[in-house]
Chains A and B, each alone.
Chain A
């Protein structure tokens, strides 16, 4: 089995502790999940998250475009992580029963 890979969720989780630009996001996601997103995958996720209003661009800094998570994005991230947590708990419980 490979690393966990849900690019939009990974991007949201990366932005949860503050705004970041593309390079920082990629490195942060590697530390967070062990997954290294490709540039195309990252921008695909960014475009979809921005379209949903879950992240927003900030003023560019030296040709680098930082993004930050919005309030709706935080809500969506919390909901998704809670679901994952419940799933993990249930899965582990089944393993314990073995």
Chain B
């Protein structure tokens, strides 16, 4: 495998794992032929290692300090951090839309509602992927938050608050695109979460907020059920 790629793949693992296995794993990867399948295997394993770290001596250190934060400031970990993470995800979505607009629809006044073109064309796939990311972002952020709570075995009201806020943001988010008054002028994308409009939209589309909330809370509920079952056994 290409040494640079081997190094990059090795860097995907958590720091404490790398300190123990990094050098030998990188050497091991360099001596292999590589290929997409092996690279994908390493990426998945690194992700697994980050979610379920090998619990040995020093490898628990990261987890312990994070656990301390969860106890010390649950409002920050489960309330504030998910909101900031979702805001970042939406910022990326806006950038993605803006680039798509510039590249695929340079003459259009808005990137929305611009049908046409082959269904499997790059343009359509690009915008559909963006739409998927935009609508999936609150669920993914909610899952990540719930997973953190499960891993840290935290029962916090802040988790519920965080998930409700994510559901609210997801259902209330409005994305706008417009150009300056001059035809063909500079286009810009903006987002807002207007409180009045959002309350109205939550009322108008409770299904959206409820869907996000129930999807995000699902991993946490499964853990609670499992925990209760193991306790009863």
Contacts and interface: CB of A to CB of B under 8 A. Distances in A.
Interface in B101-117: none
Among B29, B31, B59, the most chain A Cβ lie within 10 Å of the Cβ of B31
Contacts of A39: 25, 28-29, 32, 38, 41-42, 45
Interface of B: 17, 20-21, 24-25, 27-29, 31-32, 37-38, 41-46, 48-49, 54-56, 59
Contacts of B20: 47
Interface string A36-58: 00111101101110110000000
Contacts of A60: 24
B46 A40 contact: yes
Contact of A63 (B27, B37, B38): B27
A64 B27 contact: yes
A47 to B, nearest CB: 4
A23 interface: yes
B143 to A, nearest CB: 22
Contacts of B29: 39
Given A22-B28, A63-B27, A65-B24, A40 B43 contact: yes
Nearest to B24: A65
Q: Main SS of the interface on chain B? A: helix
A47 B55 CA distance: 9
Given A44-B49, A51-B56, A23 B31 contact: yes
B41 A38 contact: yes
Among A41, A47, A48, A65, the most chain B Cβ lie within 10 Å of the Cβ of A47
Shortest 5 CB-CB contacts between residues of A and residues of B: A40-B45, A38-B41, A51-B56, A40-B42, A65-B24
Given A38-B45, A60-B24, 20 more contacts: A21-B28, A23-B28, A23-B32, A38-B37, A39-B32, A39-B38, A40-B43, A40-B45, A40-B48, A41-B41, A44-B45, A44-B49, A47-B56, A48-B54, A50-B56, A51-B54, A51-B56, A63-B24, A64-B28, A65-B28
A96 B48 CA distance: 41
Contacts of B49: 44, 47
Given A38-B38, A51-B55, A43 B45 contact: yes
B191 to A, nearest CB: 37
Contacts of B56: 47, 50-51
Nearest to B12: A40
B72 to A, nearest CB: 28
Nearest to A51: B56
A43 B21 contact: yes
A32 to B, nearest CB: 19
Contacts of A63: 24, 27, 31
